[in-house]
Structure 1
Amino acid sequence: GRLKQWRGIATRFDKLARNYRAAIVLVTALLWINA
């Protein structure tokens, strides 16, 4: 069961990283538009 647990953590981390990158892109775009 340990492998499945690690896979779940990895999937969650991947999703988090993708959301984080998307948030950075969004904020950068907003700052660039407002500049």
Structure 2
Amino acid sequence: MTRETLADLVGVVAISVTAIILFSMPAVTPILTAA
């Protein structure tokens, strides 16, 4: 696996984790959106 592929994979995972956290904690979402 090349570094470019690994970097892209890490980026996709980071975005996915962020999305899961936002959808899993709707009470915190307005605070993060305001900030």
- Runs of 5+ consecutive residues of structure 1 not aligned to the other structure: none
TM-score (norm 2): 0.69
Spell out structure 1 runs of 4+ moving beyond 6 A: none
TM-score (norm 1): 0.69
- Runs of 5+ consecutive residues of structure 2 not aligned to the other structure: 28-35
Give the structure, 1 or 2, with the largest relative contact order (CA under 8 Å, sep 6 or more): 2
Root mean square deviation of aligned Cα: 1.4
The structure with the largest alpha-carbon Rg is 1
Larger helix proportion of the pair: 1
